[in-house]
Structure 1
């Protein structure tokens, strides 16, 4: 049986692993960080914040250029950062499930041949596997593409399919660090996927008294507009990059919305990878189920299995039973 560790110890260890793997991959020069996740999914905003914090802490830099898929411009990138690496936001969107992100990487490869490019930690899913052939050819032609993946399955696939350097590292959201949860109001919080990565046929049991079911794909547009403009203004007043500051403010707003949601339960039950990661950052005991293609389980096996507050399940009934055990035995539940 592997050693059981606290959230604090796990976070510190994973931050050092990220630093050991990722820092040497980023060459000198002005940094561009693209594919900002300007949508409601909290997990992708957590990744963005972790990447920004990593660059600040370990490299002492702020990106010179940032863009969403829709706002990206080759000309604007070259004007803001005529040299240096292009970093691509990490996550679980490279492959056939989320084709816009796949197509965006193809575009970057074609528009910046020979320029250092790093795909930050990702989970890969190509179905069928031959769907990766086009991007493999583009990587070979580009010549300076580096890929970081988050799990062993992605690592094996990437090393078989892609003509580039491939490395294994944890999710960048761990660079946010330990976060203080809010006061809970329910015994259980079920945060379950409602998108195309949901496991079909996964039946929700009768929700026990003191339970709540939700996802984190809805947000207040007004609150976001205020955050964006305050962030942009703050960045400009400090002489920094107004767009990056606006993106950071949006991501932080979404992250804290996720904290508020997760904090509602003394125990969280989820099939979202970043609900698992954020529950670990918050030190909230939780039960993890898998998503449609094994992303959650693969990540846990690679990095977070030792966390003392984690239990795993394959069905909702198993998850609820494990959650009741956590509620009865974990000191964090009583303390919160």
Structure 2
């Protein structure tokens, strides 16, 4: 079994971690490969509980994205993990030829996000503030017919398999196969949506790991701020920090000064 990668191995995201623990409990005869993750435990007892499940399972293999997570895997979970870049980098070069209509995009986490850092966003008319799922229209009107159908079927399937008289039908293998066919369609369109957001700005400031990675793939100059526990800076340290167009900042003022310098140099 392959478990999708991300930044949720630990105790910041109860839903994703709960699913991972349930897999360890219930699929004892399966080899489980956790695709590249970042590790963060605020409570050592939660790390101990996961380490116990991993030990009892005996077939759990872990890939991590930064050297800090590599150390935590050994120290907290008793695992010799594999260091691997985030698999979004496997998308390869993306088309960044769209003519921007904005000067600076501030793509960052909002208060309430467990990885939020208060970076004192600059009050500058040239800055457009956005989060991946906020400040952007989620209208289906810009999607093609196939994408709209996949989105609607995906939502309907997930709702029906959780409740209602038809829920048993949606727990069959055939239903799950049909549901799984929607994900590649949706994934391609979500990537296209992200590309559209990033290419619409001349310069991007972000504390989002995949905001940074997509800017790298687009060849777009951008300024990177860290998240609350260092997974973004860890990725730069291990893989991407020396690539062209990647700039680091320590706070909002520093980031904006660098963005203005880039704009004025053009």
Fold in common (TM above 0.5)? yes
Distance 2:27 2:186 in 1: 28
Q: 1:228 to 1:112 in 2, by over 3 A?
A: farther
**SS of aligned partner of 1:311:** strand
Q: 1:232 to 1:220 in 2, by over 3 A?
A: closer
Q: Of 87, 90, 96, which aligns to 2:11?
A: 96
Please provide the CA RMSD for this pair: 2.1
Distance 1:138 1:316 in 2: 41
What is the aligned partner in structure 2 of residue 36 from structure 1? none
1:197 aligns with 2:115: yes
What is the aligned partner in structure 2 of residue 60 from structure 1? none
Q: Of 312, 315, 321, which aligns to 2:251?
A: 315
What is the aligned partner in structure 1 of residue 138 from structure 2? 220
Q: C-alpha displacement at 1:257, in angstroms?
A: 1.2
What does 1:8-23 align with in structure 2 at a 5 Å threshold? none
Q: C-alpha displacement at 1:328, in angstroms?
A: 3.5
What is the aligned partner in structure 1 of residue 35 from structure 2? 120
**SS of aligned partner of 1:267:** strand
Distance 1:152 1:307 in 2: 18
What is the aligned partner in structure 2 of residue 87 from structure 1? 2
Distance 1:230 1:90 in 2: 23
8 Å contact kept, 1:232–1:243: no
1:291 aligns with 2:227: yes
Q: Of 26, 49, 63, which aligns to 1:111?
A: 26
Q: C-alpha displacement at 1:228, in angstroms?
A: 5.9
- How many residues are aligned here? 236
**SS of aligned partner of 1:115:** coil
- Could you list the runs of 5+ residues in structure 2 that have no partner in the other structure? 154-176
Distance 2:55 2:151 in 1: 39
**SS of aligned partner of 1:205:** coil
Q: C-alpha displacement at 1:149, in angstroms?
A: 0.4
Q: C-alpha displacement at 1:252, in angstroms?
A: 1.6
Q: TM-score, normalised by structure 1?
A: 0.66
1:155 aligns with 2:79: no
Q: Of 164, 184, 187, which aligns to 1:251?
A: 187
What is the aligned partner in structure 2 of residue 69 from structure 1? none
Distance 2:56 2:107 in 1: 42
Distance 1:249 1:317 in 2: 39
Q: Of 44, 48, 66, which aligns to 1:129?
A: 44
Distance 2:36 2:196 in 1: 26
Distance 1:197 1:160 in 2: 22
Q: 1:185 to 1:232 in 2, by over 3 A?
A: closer
Q: C-alpha displacement at 1:196, in angstroms?
A: 2.5
Distance 1:164 1:232 in 2: 41
What does 1:262-301 align with in structure 2 at a 5 Å threshold? 262-301=198-237
Distance 2:216 2:69 in 1: 23
Distance 2:182 2:139 in 1: 14
Q: 1:125 to 1:199 in 2, by over 3 A?
A: same
**SS of aligned partner of 1:188:** strand
Distance 2:146 2:102 in 1: 30
Distance 2:108 2:138 in 1: 20
